[in-house]
């Protein structure tokens, strides 16, 4: 039994525990999972003096409303998120990228994300979660991870097994930037597509469809024509791969993706752009820009340096 | 042998062993898979063997395409020592409750239900790979006259345990999932068990599978 715990008054739409993810399991059909927006996940942990790789609460669109019971603890929210903190009879609006202290009976109400999909709530301590294959990340499709692999539910209680003694308040100035173009490299089946199809892929705008989740992002727009075969023999995938099935509408593989797939791959999103890609809401316009491998590696180095730089400022 | 290595994005190697699907090419893929897995090269975080490809993904913070490619090109892929391939009998019930696409198969294959079952059951199938969803085995090869394309519009939910066909392959849906394969029957066995972290998959690449028909009553008893 723990004396420090959270009660979920309202779970939100798709609220899960996520950490760094689980590796070395693609060959048995288990994807990486883990926090969708890795940078915001890391910052959340750093703001509350946690180890960077432990599980936080990830939410999409509407987040959870939580009541806290126990000794004083820090928490922080990252992303572009509207939330409030209720202390006794006083409710204040919260700001992302700074830690707050809450006490027994206080509530955190995460109303919604703002023009973005995912946000993160970290508490200064360690949640008491079951780890499976070295990760607490919840994969709701395969029911793997903590919480029996299911998203958080109304009325459930989550215990904390540890509270950080360092309760210093921390803050960082950070704004989530949007990028106009998502940079991609050619996929291994690029030549399956017609000249017109290739042109459409790089020159036209696509719209993020409502049928997007942690597994994949479906796009709508002009159809991409195939001149070879709309099926290939199933083979391995990674996150960021853009497959085009027979209907000509691209699908981008995200963190909970199927580990193999049988549709031709027109492109792969640069790792540097992944965190920003996953934050694009349904209805957003998306345009692809071709880069080569060496550009992508450089962009990732820069992105990673920027992330480390942000973390070192906290 | 690996015919060509290219990049799949900036964080994976795409090793191409050819385009045919057969045991000999697949065993080459598995040989490389096992060798690399045992050696634990710095930064490699996933290996995905399939019929004739091997995808090697890596952490771009720790290594890069050039390093991993150089490593794979110079690797001495030995025959794997652990020959733990099993022969498994999988009970399958083809009662109309489960054989969701039998009408479609009868039409496409121009075979009666009885003939389809006779062609499918009691034969040895080789497990080429597992994946898509956790533990799903990709088995082959079906007889020439048993090969049907995927559904034009995939199902949003294929029931757990569904035994389904497409082209020369059969698979088993280890849990409820979207999918476009032709469903012929259902097995009461748990083909994927996440509580067994060491060996969650009942069927693994290299194993041989034989489907044995059971009645609805037997299915219900096994499902208890």
Whether the ipTM is more than 0.90: the answer is yes
Residues of A in contact with B194 (CB under 8 A): 132, 142-144, 149
> In Å, how far is B216's CA from the nearest CA of chain A?
27
Give the integer Cα–Cα distance in Å for A55 and A79.
16
Average pLDDT estimate for A66-73: 97
- Torsion sign over Cα A28, A31, A256, A260: negative
* Structure confidence at residue A44 (pLDDT): 98
Which CATH superfamily, name and number, covers A181-312? Answer: Cyclophilin-like (2.40.100.10)
Q: Is residue B11 less than 8 Å (CB to CB) from chain A?
A: yes
pTM of the model: 0.94
pLDDT for residue A225 is more than 60: yes
Give the C-alpha separation, A291 to A300, whole Å.
12
What does the pLDDT read at residue B186?
98
Q: For residues A307 and A39, is the Cβ–Cβ distance under 8 A?
A: yes
Residue A120 is predicted with a pLDDT of 98
Interface membership of A237 toward B (CB under 8 Å):
yes
B11, B33, B133: residue with CB nearest A142: B133
> pLDDT at position A130, please?
96
Say yes or no to pLDDT of B205 above 80. yes
Of B156 and A8, the structure prediction assigns the larger pLDDT to: A8
DSSP assignment string, A182-228: EEEEEPTTGGGB-HHHHHHHHHS-EEE-S---SSEEEEESS---BSS
Q: Identify the CA nearest to A202 among candidates A293, A268, A287.
A: A287
Q: In this model, does residue B83 exceed pLDDT 80? A: no
Contact of B5 with chain A, judged by CB distance below 8 Å, is answered with no
B63 touches chain A (CB under 8 A): no
User: Percent of chain A having pLDDT more than 70?
Assistant: 99
CA distance A63 to A57: 9
CB contact under 8 A, B46 and A24: yes
Residue ranges in B74-135 assigned as alpha helix (H): 102-109, 113-120
Mean pLDDT of B161-177: 95
Residue among B9, B38, B61, B139 with most chain A CBs within 10 A, to mutate: B9
pLDDT digits (tens, 9 = 90+) for A104-145: 999 999 999 999 999 999 999 999 999 999 999 999 989 999
Identical fold for domains B4-73 and B87-222, yes or no, is: no
Q: For residue A238, give the nearest of B9, B51, B197 by CB distance.
A: B9
- Identify the pLDDT of residue B80: 61
Q: What is the CATH number of domain B87-222?
A: 2.40.100.10
Establish, for the pair of chains A and B, how many residue pairs have beta carbons separated by less than 8 Å: 141
pLDDT value for B81: 56
pLDDT at B82 over 60: no
Convert the pLDDT of each residue in A35-61 to its tens digit.
Answer: 999 999 999 999 999 999 999 999 999
Sign of torsion, CA A268 A270 A271 A277?
A: negative
**pLDDT at position B79:** 66
Q: What is the pLDDT at residue B85?
A: 82
User: What confidence score (pLDDT) does residue A198 get?
Assistant: 97
B139 touches chain A (CB under 8 A): no
Pair A72, A117: CB distance under 8 Å? no
Q: What is the pLDDT of residues B105-152, one digit of tens each?
A: 999 999 999 999 999 999 999 999 999 999 999 999 999 999 998 887
Domain positions in chain B are 4-73, 87-222
For B39-57, what is each residue's pLDDT tens digit? 889 999 999 999 999 999 9
Region label for B201, one of left (φ > 0), alpha (ψ between -120 and 50) or beta (otherwise): beta
Q: Which residue of B has its CA nearest to A302?
A: B61
Q: Would you call A297 and B60 a contact, using CB atoms and an 8 Å cutoff?
A: yes
**DSSP H or E stretch at residue A266:** strand A265-269
Structure confidence by residue, pLDDT tens digits, A255-274: 999 999 989 999 999 999 99
What percentage of chain B reaches a pLDDT higher than 90?
Answer: 83
Q: What is the architecture of the domain spanning B4-73?
A: 2-Layer Sandwich (3.30)
Q: How confident is the model at residue B77 (pLDDT cuts 50, 70, 90)?
A: confident
């Amino acid at each position: 039994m723990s004396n420090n715990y959270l009660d979920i008054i309202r779970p939100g739409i798709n609220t899960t525990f996520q950490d760094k993810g689980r590796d070395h399991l693609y060959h048995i059909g288990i994807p990486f999972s883990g926090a969708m927006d890795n940078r915001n996940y890391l910052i959340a942990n750093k703001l509350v003096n946690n180890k960077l790789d432990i599980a936080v609460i990830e939410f999409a669109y509407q987040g959870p409303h939580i009541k806290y019971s126990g000794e004083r603890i820090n928490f922080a929210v990252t992303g572009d998120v509207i939330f409030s903190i209720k202390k006794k009879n006083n409710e204040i609006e919260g700001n992302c990228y700074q830690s707050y202290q809450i006490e027994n009976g206080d509530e955190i109400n995460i109303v919604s994300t703002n023009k973005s999909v995912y946000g993160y709530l970290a508490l200064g301590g360690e949640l008491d979660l079951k780890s499976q294959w070295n990760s607490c990340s919840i994969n709701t499709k395969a029911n793997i991870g903590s919480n029996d692999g299911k998203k958080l539910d109304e009325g459930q209680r989550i215990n904390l097994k540890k509270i950080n003694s360092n309760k210093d308040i921390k803050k960082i100035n950070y704004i989530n930037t949007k990028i106009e173009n998502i940079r991609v490299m050619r996929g291994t089946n690029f030549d399956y597509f017609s000249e017109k199809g290739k042109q459409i892929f790089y020159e036209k705008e696509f719209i993020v469809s409502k049928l997007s989740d942690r597994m994949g992002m479906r796009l709508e727009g002009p159809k991409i024509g195939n001149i070879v075969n709309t099926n290939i023999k199933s083979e391995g995938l990674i996150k960021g791969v853009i497959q085009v099935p027979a209907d000509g509408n691209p699908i981008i593989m995200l963190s909970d993706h199927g580990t193999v797939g049988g549709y031709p791959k027109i492109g792969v999103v640069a790792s540097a752009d992944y965190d920003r890609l996953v934050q694009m809401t349904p209805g957003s316009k998306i345009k692809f820009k071709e880069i080569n491998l060496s550009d992508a590696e450089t962009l990732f180095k820069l992105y990673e340096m920027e992330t480390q730089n942000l973390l070192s400022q906290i | 042998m690996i015919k060509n290595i290219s990049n799949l994005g900036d964080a994976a190697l795409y090793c191409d062993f050819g385009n045919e699907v057969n045991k000999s090419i697949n065993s080459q893929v598995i040989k490389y898979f096992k060798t690399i897995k045992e050696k634990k090269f710095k930064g490699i975080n996933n290996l995905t063997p399939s019929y004739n490809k091997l995808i090697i993904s890596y952490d771009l913070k720790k290594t890069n395409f050039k390093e991993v490619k150089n490593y794979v090109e110079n690797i001495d892929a030995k025959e794997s020592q652990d020959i733990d391939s099993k022969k498994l009998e999988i009970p399958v019930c083809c009662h109309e409750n489960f054989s969701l696409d039998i009408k479609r198969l009868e039409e496409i294959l121009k075979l009666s239900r009885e003939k389809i079952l006779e062609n499918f059951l009691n034969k040895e199938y080789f497990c080429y790979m597992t994946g898509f969803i956790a533990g799903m085995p990709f088995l082959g090869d079906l007889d020439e006259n048993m090969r049907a394309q995927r559904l034009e519009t995939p199902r949003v939910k294929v029931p757990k345990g569904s035994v389904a066909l497409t082209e020369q392959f059969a698979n088993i849906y280890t849990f409820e999932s979207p999918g476009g394969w032709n469903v012929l029957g259902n097995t009461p066995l748990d083909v994927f068990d996440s509580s067994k972290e060491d060996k969650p998959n009942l069927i693994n690449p290299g194993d041989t599978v034989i489907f044995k028909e059971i009645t609805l009553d037997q299915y219900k008893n096994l499902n208890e």
